[in-house]
């Protein structure tokens, strides 16, 4: 009896410390696999990216698996290249236009969803989810078909609606028009995420507040500015920063819609530029330098979003 | 709050002289306004959905209708010929098989690895967890085009280019952060009390985990794995770079090479192939969209 009691007492005295140590190590063991995978598959390439950017590394070097150290030559070559700066400026303008259109139109649709009857809301939401689910490569092919100059439906509809005679109009004639088509494609694909998220956010706006403000004589503009917007602000901030990050680095849509044979210095966006300069031209050292510059720009753009998510993770 | 009281102070009270007539008028105006919004809503729906409709519609049209100068909205003589042609194209079945292998391996590996880390993030407080979250979300934000060169060079070094394994590893690393973050949200949604109650009842931590936590988090696991499936299935840039032989490619890369010169393009076949590529994604996406949509805006929107 006493022996057993002593043993129990002894155990209960000893166990907490052991348990504490074991307990403390559990989360580290749990995250270990992720750390290993990320370090092995991403960490090493990122390290490689930094070293490559200081090397002369072309096809010959790829085969020998050994580059020639050339210091900052790749970076100075890129930074002294007019093309880099033009691509950067073009990408910034492109990103601003795409993000502005996506957020603007998405928000309008979210507000529309509040105002329509239930059956229209269900229909419109289903349509949004359908559009959202379309794979990028598939959407590109549909765009190519709809906007081709010979028998694309876009030219037909515009001509029928008497917008002008668009028979045989080539939408891929000028850089502006090409990037306009890419914008149309990206905005179309990105609207659902914004619309559905903002709509979900609108549901959080307390009805009593809106009604109170309306009874007190506030117009729709005033209600939006003073009641709705403050509630939606964190959502807008997150959506905008995510959209900026995504659109700045976009690759699949511009590369495939403009066409791999038609992308050139006159219409490069950053993602395409990095890809062509580094991979297609097999100048991996210079490509690595451009990639690194691009990653740095996106890292700066991401700081806001990452900080926000970490803070929200804590708050939960 | 202060904004509202400001409004209240500035506006005179609404007059309620003839309540009956006014309320009828107001109701009628409201109904009219709603009808107008409904029309606008239907218009937006039609414009948004049109490209998808046009893809499916074209896929079922005979060539004569596709090349006609006055297009028909629906075909009077629908045909399955384009689907047969698309499937009969070189490498179709090979690339479907490749896509399924890659997606299957990525889903299986990522779910196991991500689930463990998600449990750590959701259930434990540990030094460095903030750093880990920054790492996870930071990777989520990396532009893929910027990673092509280093991944290609490293995979080439280990002779993993032109192997499905190379693509599996690449997809794994770009999808793990997403999976960890989403699963963490699902696990955090489970009340701690349930798990504690099981432990009080004499279950071990592992027992509580398998009998209480796992069944509750199963829908989250399914939703996350479906989303991983979709992203891996749709992924283009790495598949295009890593898999060089036509027989080794995935469905999206195969589809991207479908398009020829304008005059020679088999539009019906292209749209049939596009439809076939999209179908599994659309079906799965419709199933899980509600559960996943808010992972990226977690905290800002309470789904």
pLDDT of residue A250: 94
Q: What is the pLDDT of residues A178-223, one digit of tens each?
A: 999 999 999 999 999 999 889 988 888 888 888 888 888 888 888 8
**Of all residues in chain A, what percent carry a pLDDT higher than 90?**
45
Instruction: Identify the burial level of B80 via C-beta atoms within 10 angstroms of its C-beta, where 0-12 means exposed, 13-18 middle and 19 or more buried.
Output: exposed
Q: What's the DSSP call for residue A280?
A: I
pLDDT band at A107 (very low <50, low <70, confident <90, very high): very high
| Inter-residue contact B155 to A284 (CB < 8 Å) | no
Tokens 């038609």 belong to A262
Whole-angstrom distance, CA of residue A110 vs CA of residue A200: 9
CA A133 to CA B48: how far, in whole Å?
13
Domain boundaries, chain A: 2-53, 74-315
By mean pLDDT, which of A103-117, A256-270, B29-43, B120-134 is the weakest? B120-134
- Cβ contacts below 8 Å, chain A against chain B, sum to 334
Out of B157, B286, B297, name the one closest to residue A133 (CB): B286
Q: Of A34-38, A311-315, B1-5, B259-263, which one has max mean pLDDT?
A: A34-38
Among B58, B68, B141, B190, the strongest candidate for a mutation testing the A interface, having the largest count of A CBs within 10 A, is B141
Q: Among partner residues B136, B150, B302, which is closest to A52 by beta-carbon distance?
A: B150
The arithmetic mean of pLDDT across residues A267-286, rounded, is 89
CA distances from B239 to A76, A133, B170, B246, B286 (A): 31, 20, 9, 11, 25
Mind telling me how many Å the CA of A274 is from chain B's nearest CA? Answer: 7
Residue A20 to residues A15, B44, B121, B200, Cα–Cα distance (Å): 8, 59, 18, 19
Of B150, B274, B293, the CB nearest to A48: B150
pLDDT by residue for chain B (303 residues), tens only, comes to: 334 443 444 444 455 556 788 888 888 888 898 999 999 999 999 999 999 999 999 999 998 888 887 888 888 889 999 999 999 988 999 999 999 999 999 999 999 999 999 988 888 888 888 888 888 888 888 888 888 888 888 898 889 999 999 999 999 999 998 899 888 888 887 777 777 776 677 667 677 777 777 788 888 888 888 889 989 999 999 999 999 888 899 999 999 988 765 556 789 999 999 999 999 888 888 877 766 655 555 555 543
Average pLDDT over residues A86-110: 96
| Average pLDDT of the residues in A66-71 | 84
Out of 3.40.50.970, 3.40.50.150, 1.10.357.10, 1.10.3720.10, the CATH code matching A74-315 is 1.10.3720.10
Neighbours of B88 (CB within 10 A): 10
Alpha carbon A213 to its chain's center: 36
Cross-chain residue pair B149–A128, CB shorter than 8 Å: no
Contact call for residues B67 and B217 (beta carbons, < 8 A): no
- pTM for the whole structure: 0.85
Question: What pLDDT does B3 receive?
Answer: 41
CB < 8 Å to B184, chain A? 313
CA distances (Å), origin A30, targets A34, A314, B116, B123: 8, 19, 5, 11
> Residue B5's pLDDT is what?
40
**How does pLDDT run across B33-80, given as a tens digit for each residue?**
899 999 999 999 999 999 999 999 999 999 888 888 788 888 888 999
pLDDT reported for residue B297: 57
Superfamily of domain B83-302: MetI-like (1.10.3720.10)
Structural domain spans, chain B: 3-59, 83-302
What mean pLDDT is reported for chain A? 87
Q: How many residues does the structure list for chain B? A: 303
Which pLDDT score is estimated for B50?
96
Mutate to test the interface with B, among A137, A279, A282 (most CBs of B within 10 A): A137
Q: What would the two tokens of residue A60 be?
A: 């010959």
Residue A314 has pLDDT above 70, yes or no: no
User: What is the distance between the alpha carbons of residues B288 and B182, in angstroms, rounded to a whole number?
Assistant: 12
H helices present in A39-174, as ranges = 44-52, 59-64, 73-79, 82-115, 118-133, 136-147, 153-160
Q: Using CA atoms, how far apart are residues B81 and A172, in angstroms rounded to an integer?
A: 30
Residues of B in contact with A270 (CB under 8 A): 143, 145
Given this model, what pLDDT does residue B10 score?
42
Whether A28 contacts B136, CB under 8 Å: no
Rounded CA-CA distance A217/A222 in Å is: 9
More confident residue, A94 or B29: A94
Q: Which of B45, B138, B149 should one mutate to test binding to chain A, selecting the residue with the greatest count of A CBs within 10 A?
A: B149
Q: Cα dihedral angle (A168, A171, A176, A182), rounded to 10 degrees?
A: 170
How far, rounded to the nearest angstrom, does the alpha carbon of residue A65 sit from its chain's CA centroid? 33
Cβ–Cβ gap A309/B58 under 8 Å: no
Q: Which residues of B128-155 are buried (b: 16+ CB within 10 A; e: fewer)?
A: ebeebbebbbebbbbbbbbbbbbbbbbb
Query: How far is it, in rounded angstroms, from Cα A313 to Cα A291?
Result: 30
Residues of B in contact with A196 (CB under 8 A): 293
Residue from A277, A257, A256 nearest A265 by CA: A277
Contacts of A55 (CB under 8 A, 6+ apart): A61, A67, A68, A69, A70, A74, A285, A288
């Amino acid at each position: 009896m006493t022996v057993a009691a002593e043993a129990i007492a002894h155990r209960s005295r000893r166990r907490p410390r052991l348990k504490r140590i074991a307990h403390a190590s559990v989360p580290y063991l749990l995250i270990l696999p992720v750390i290993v995978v990320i370090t092995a598959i991403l960490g090493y390439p990122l390290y490689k990216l930094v070293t490559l950017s200081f090397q002369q590394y072309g096809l010959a070097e790829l085969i020998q698996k050994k580059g020639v150290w050339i210091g900052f030559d790749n970076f100075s070559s890129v930074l002294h290249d007019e093309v880099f700066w033009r691509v950067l400026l073009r990408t910034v303008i492109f990103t601003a236009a795409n993000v502005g259109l996506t957020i603007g139109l998405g928000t309008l649709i979210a507000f529309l969803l509040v105002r329509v009857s239930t059956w229209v809301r269900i229909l419109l939401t289903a349509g949004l989810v359908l559009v959202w689910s379309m794979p990028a490569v598939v959407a590109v092919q549909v765009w190519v078909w709809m906007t081709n100059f010979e028998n694309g439906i876009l030219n037909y509809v515009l001509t029928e609606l008497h917008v002008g005679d668009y028979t045989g109009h080539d939408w891929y004639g000028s850089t502006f028009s090409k990037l306009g088509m890419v914008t149309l494609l990206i905005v179309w694909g990105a609207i659902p995420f914004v619309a559905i998220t903002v709509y979900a956010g609108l549901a959080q706006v307390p009805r009593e507040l809106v009604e109170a403000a309306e009874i007190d004589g506030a117009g729709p503009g005033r209600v939006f500015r003073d009641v709705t917007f403050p509630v939606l602000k964190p959502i807008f901030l997150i959506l905008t920063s995510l959209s900026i990050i995504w659109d700045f680095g976009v690759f699949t849509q511009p590369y495939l819609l403009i066409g791999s044979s038609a992308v050139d210095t006159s219409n490069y966006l950053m993602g395409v530029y990095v890809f062509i300069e580094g991979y297609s031209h097999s100048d991996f050292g210079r490509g690595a330098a451009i990639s690194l510059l691009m990653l740095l720009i996106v890292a700066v753009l991401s700081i806001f979003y990452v900080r926000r998510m970490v803070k929200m993770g804590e708050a939960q | 709050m202060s904004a509202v009281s400001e409004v209240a102070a500035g506006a005179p009270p609404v007059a309620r002289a003839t309540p009956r007539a006014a309320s009828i008028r107001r109701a009628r105006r409201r109904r009219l306004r709603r009808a107008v919004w409904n029309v606008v809503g239907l218009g937006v729906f039609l414009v948004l959905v049109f490209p998808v409709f046009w893809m499916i519609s074209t896929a079922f049209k005979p060539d004569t209708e596709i090349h006609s100068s006055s297009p028909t909205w629906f075909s009077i003589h629908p045909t399955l010929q384009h689907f047969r042609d698309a499937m009969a194209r070189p490498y179709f079945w090979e690339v479907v098989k490749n896509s399924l292998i890659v997606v299957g391996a990525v889903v299986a590996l990522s779910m196991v690895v991500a689930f463990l880390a998600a449990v750590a993030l959701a259930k434990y407080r540990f030094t460095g967890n903030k750093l880990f979250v920054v790492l996870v979300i930071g990777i989520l934000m990396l532009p893929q085009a910027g990673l092509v060169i280093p991944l290609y060079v490293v995979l080439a070094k280990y002779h993993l280019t032109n192997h499905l394994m190379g693509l599996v590893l690449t997809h794994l690393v770009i999808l793990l952060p997403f999976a960890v973050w989403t699963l963490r949200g699902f696990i955090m949604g489970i009340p701690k009390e349930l798990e504690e109650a099981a432990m009080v009842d004499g279950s071990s931590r592992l027992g509580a985990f398998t009998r209480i936590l796992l069944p509750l988090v199963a829908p989250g696991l399914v939703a996350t794995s479906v989303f991983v499936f979709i992203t891996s299935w749709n992924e283009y840039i790495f598949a295009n770079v890593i898999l060089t032989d036509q027989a080794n490619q995935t469905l999206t890369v195969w589809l991207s090479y479908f398009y020829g010169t304008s005059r020679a393009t088999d539009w019906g076949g292209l749209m049939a192939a596009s439809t076939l590529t999209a179908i599994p994604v659309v079906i799965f996406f419709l199933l899980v969209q509600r559960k996943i949509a808010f992972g990226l805006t977690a905290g800002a929107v309470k789904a």
